[in-house]
Structure 1
Amino acid sequence: MAEIVILLAIRKIGIALAKAAADQASVQFGKYGTQLLELQGSMGRVGRELRVMHDVLCQMNIRSRNNQVHEGWLEEVQKVAYVMEDMVDEYLYLVGREHDIGCCFFLKKGFKKPRSLLSLSKIAFKVKEIEKDLSHLPDTKNRWVPTINNGDASNSNYIVKRSQELANILRSLDEEDLVGVDKNREQLEQWLAGDDQECSVIALLGMGGLGKTALAANVYRKEREKFQCYAWVSISQTYSREDVLRNMIKQLFKDTASVLSSTLAMDIMSLEETLKKYLDQRKYFIIFDDVWDLETFHDLSRMFIHSDNGSRVMLTTREARVAALASRGHI
């Protein structure tokens, strides 16, 4: 998905502009000081533009994406982000090929060796072109991408489909795709494995694009088998209580076809009671990703009967007032 591709490109730009890489570039390309500064300036501007674009995509009503024109525009965004990622790989390989941040740097950070090594001037030229392309993309969207917000059944199905796609992509990220998260990951793992038998709520709080979902997905993939049952639910601004309940049931009862079939005709209250009864008997781990408001979490939390079996609920949010719902000391 475009959001993930952009996020990875932003991460690489950040590493390219960090002090270690910048100092090494100054040493190696000191005689090209002006050109180097212009390149780094272009990378910084591209990074800022991508971050804003990422935040806009995250907040955009997902129903507006259910049309061919919008999907085509998102593909163009992805292409630009992919090209920028390649240029950063070229730059970092060029900077570190004769020094300590060479091959080992790439292996540790998940960068790939460029297929063909470009010169500093060629990289600078291509980044300038990327910067121009990015400036045109918003205009193209405003001219040609219609906003569709019909709220019909097909949109509801589309919301669930996109949520599942996002979860699948994030859960498949490799360890090297996450940089600088070791301390937070260890803290989350400690909270999940704690001796407290009460059902505790853990919150990941931060601005859009910070990597909350990627971190939560990485921990979820590693720790979920330690629980009797588990589920990942994407909430976003398009929250539909019935969609969330059915999504949870589908994941929790995946090996029980008879139960799944019996819930097809259930109303919302029956679905909620089914989940309550199931979760009350088990040690569960459930993640609610991208929770935007207090009412949504209060609405969902009614399903959790806090039996003393060591269950854990984790939520990601960019709202401090939502994160404050976490158990004491678990933000």
Structure 2
Amino acid sequence: MAETVLLLEIKKIGIALANGVTNQASAQFAKHAVQLTELQDSMGRIMRELRVMHDFLCQMDIQSRCNQVYLGWLQEVRKVVYVMEDMVDEYLHLVGCQRDLGCCFYLKKLFSQPRSVLSLDRIASMVSRIEKDLAHLSQTKDRWIPITNIGNSSHNVVQGPQDLASLSRSLDEDDLVGIEDNKQKLLEWLRDGDPARSVIVVHGMGGLGKTTHAATVFRKEREKFDCHAWVSVSQTYTREDILHRLIVEIFRDKPNAPSNITTMDIATLQDTLMSFLEQKMYLIVLDDVWTPQVYNDLSAALVSNLKGSRIIIITTRNAEIGHLTFPGRAMELKRLSEDDSWDLFCKKAFLNHECPKELKDLSEQILSKCEGLPLAIVSIGRLLSVRSKTPAEWKRILDQLSWELINNTEMEHVRNILLLSYIYLPTRLKSCFLYCSLFPEDYLLKRKQFIRVWIAEGLVESRGRSTMERRWQKDISKNWFT
């Protein structure tokens, strides 16, 4: 979240250094031109420092979100940025307050001038101190964060998403209801007898059970292919790593498996995979794909033969990946219906799959918080299954559901998926997302009206001829309200 704070401050400093404000300040403090120039130079250096720091934080937010040293350093960065924000606001007010018009303008100017100069002195002094604080924070980062990241980055970048994917694959088919139509459609696409290699895309928002759907079909059909592989990709993939893991999976338990996989370069990995798959009917699942570039990076190695091979691509939220295949081979998962949500909830919360009458109203209120997401329903149902089946206990769970999500270890994988969804949200949308926290829980947000509020708050940038409102309605719909 710190990167959004920096982004807003960068924009604000940019406003303070814009030509209009600079010209107004130069006219207002003509007798203090040297001091004003030094102040503006300091603000410019701080803005450049914050811009680089913002890019650094965007990268580190994925790699070091569990690093306590990094999080402590991040807290100190926030404090300095907040102080800088106050100074910029005061500077803008100081420059803008002299533009008053009216019969008392000259009297106000006469009596306020000494005070304005003192304010300018104080702002310049504070900005200079902030510049030194940022330099010190940069040195602190270089001293301590690289040490604590040794041995941890690979786990945080790659293993974390893979663990989540493994968890989803380990879920029982009984953890989902209302999947028969989707399951049957996937089976038909795999068994249609078409000899041409085809790509199947399964997409939808996090928590809908995309991985579980595909894993159910994968386990059922994989032995009908000459070879098969399941690889979790994630947004932080490397082409070499994906090729390496594909070869390991493809050659698993095969006598002709190459012995030097770990020493192969990218070209050798690709050639090895191509030569093996060329005469095989293969089934490959690429899970947790975030960008079409993944398929483009691997398409050369995944040869297009006439053996009836199939590639299943599972993606979160990014419907654009559906263009990699024919329209008839892209499946978008939807939220569960009210009836299916209730069936799944009762299956997980009660041993006999029946909800007692005295708990029905509370159960419906709890279930409404899940918004039809199977992962949330399963997790909360399991949590309630081991709690006392009394209205008082369930009312307590309902009242502290947000606390349970944050602190209960049984809800950890739900937190992780939510965290990944936030981390991989485009930077331009993170500040808009955080703005929603200003409103109370269960507040009804009207999309068009809310976008206008973001525009008024300066959180939305214009691009080309498209109006800000029209562009962001499309952007938000694609990345958020799906």
Unaligned runs of 5+ in 1: 1-59, 71-146
Structure 2 contact 63–157 (Cα < 8 Å) conserved? yes
Looking at structure 1, the residues matched to 304 and 163 of structure 2 have their Cα atoms a distance apart, in angstroms, of 30
In structure 2, do the counterparts of structure 1 residues 265 and 206 end up closer, same or farther at CA, with 3 Å as the change threshold? same
Unaligned runs of 5+ in 2: 1-59, 71-144, 331-482
The one-letter code sitting in structure 2 at the alignment partner of 1:329 is G
Q: How far 1:62 moved relative to its partner?
A: 5.2
User: Secondary structure, in 3 states, of the residue corresponding to 1:195?
Assistant: coil
Structure 2 contact 199–310 (Cα < 8 Å) conserved? yes
Aligned residue for 2:266? 268
Match of 2:242 among 233, 244, 249: 244
Aligned residue for 1:184? 182
Normalising by structure 2, what TM-score?
0.37
User: Secondary structure, in 3 states, of the residue corresponding to 2:184?
Assistant: helix
Aligned residue for 1:311? 309
Looking at structure 1, the residues matched to 146 and 63 of structure 2 have their Cα atoms a distance apart, in angstroms, of 7
In structure 2, do the counterparts of structure 1 residues 321 and 168 end up closer, same or farther at CA, with 3 Å as the change threshold? closer
Looking at structure 2, the residues matched to 67 and 247 of structure 1 have their Cα atoms a distance apart, in angstroms, of 27
Matches within 5 A, 1:95-114: none
In structure 2, do the counterparts of structure 1 residues 222 and 270 end up closer, same or farther at CA, with 3 Å as the change threshold? same
Looking at structure 2, the residues matched to 322 and 68 of structure 1 have their Cα atoms a distance apart, in angstroms, of 36
Q: How far 1:306 moved relative to its partner?
A: 1.1
Matches within 5 A, 1:273-292: 273-292=271-290
Structure 1 contact 228–283 (Cα < 8 Å) conserved? yes
Q: How far 1:188 moved relative to its partner?
A: 0.3
Q: How far 1:328 moved relative to its partner?
A: 4.3
Cα RMSD for the two superposed structures: 3.0
Matches within 5 A, 1:221-240: 221-240=219-238
User: Is structure 2 residue 178 aligned with structure 1 residue 170?
Assistant: no
User: Secondary structure, in 3 states, of the residue corresponding to 2:324?
Assistant: coil
Looking at structure 2, the residues matched to 243 and 176 of structure 1 have their Cα atoms a distance apart, in angstroms, of 33
Looking at structure 2, the residues matched to 154 and 242 of structure 1 have their Cα atoms a distance apart, in angstroms, of 20
The answer to which of 294-303 and 268-277 deviates more is 294-303
Identity %: 45
Q: How far 1:215 moved relative to its partner?
A: 1.0
Looking at structure 1, the residues matched to 294 and 148 of structure 2 have their Cα atoms a distance apart, in angstroms, of 22
Structure 1 contact 173–218 (Cα < 8 Å) conserved? no
Q: How far 1:316 moved relative to its partner?
A: 1.2
Normalising by structure 1, what TM-score?
0.53
Structure 2 contact 195–306 (Cα < 8 Å) conserved? yes
Looking at structure 2, the residues matched to 309 and 279 of structure 1 have their Cα atoms a distance apart, in angstroms, of 10
Matches within 5 A, 1:78-97: none
Structure 2 contact 199–325 (Cα < 8 Å) conserved? yes
Q: How far 1:296 moved relative to its partner?
A: 1.9
CA shift digits 1:172-191 (9 cap, x unpaired) = 22221111111001100110
Q: How far 1:152 moved relative to its partner?
A: 6.9
Q: How far 1:194 moved relative to its partner?
A: 0.9
Task: Considering Cα pairs closer than 8 Å and 6+ residues apart, tell me whether 1 or 2 has the greater RCO.
Answer: 1
Aligned residue for 1:63? 63
Looking at structure 2, the residues matched to 246 and 66 of structure 1 have their Cα atoms a distance apart, in angstroms, of 27
Q: How far 1:64 moved relative to its partner?
A: 3.1
Q: How far 1:248 moved relative to its partner?
A: 0.7
User: Secondary structure, in 3 states, of the residue corresponding to 1:259?
Assistant: coil
CA shift digits 1:65-112 (9 cap, x unpaired) = 565899xxxxxxxxxxxxxxxxxxxxxxxxxxxxxxxxxxxxxxxxxx
User: Is structure 2 residue 216 aligned with structure 1 residue 218?
Assistant: yes
User: Is structure 2 residue 328 aligned with structure 1 residue 329?
Assistant: yes
User: Secondary structure, in 3 states, of the residue corresponding to 1:274?
Assistant: helix
Structure 1 contact 66–148 (Cα < 8 Å) conserved? no
Q: How far 1:262 moved relative to its partner?
A: 1.7
Looking at structure 2, the residues matched to 149 and 186 of structure 1 have their Cα atoms a distance apart, in angstroms, of 51
Q: Report runs of 4+ in structure 1 exceeding 6 Å deviation.
A: 147-153
In structure 2, do the counterparts of structure 1 residues 185 and 148 end up closer, same or farther at CA, with 3 Å as the change threshold? farther
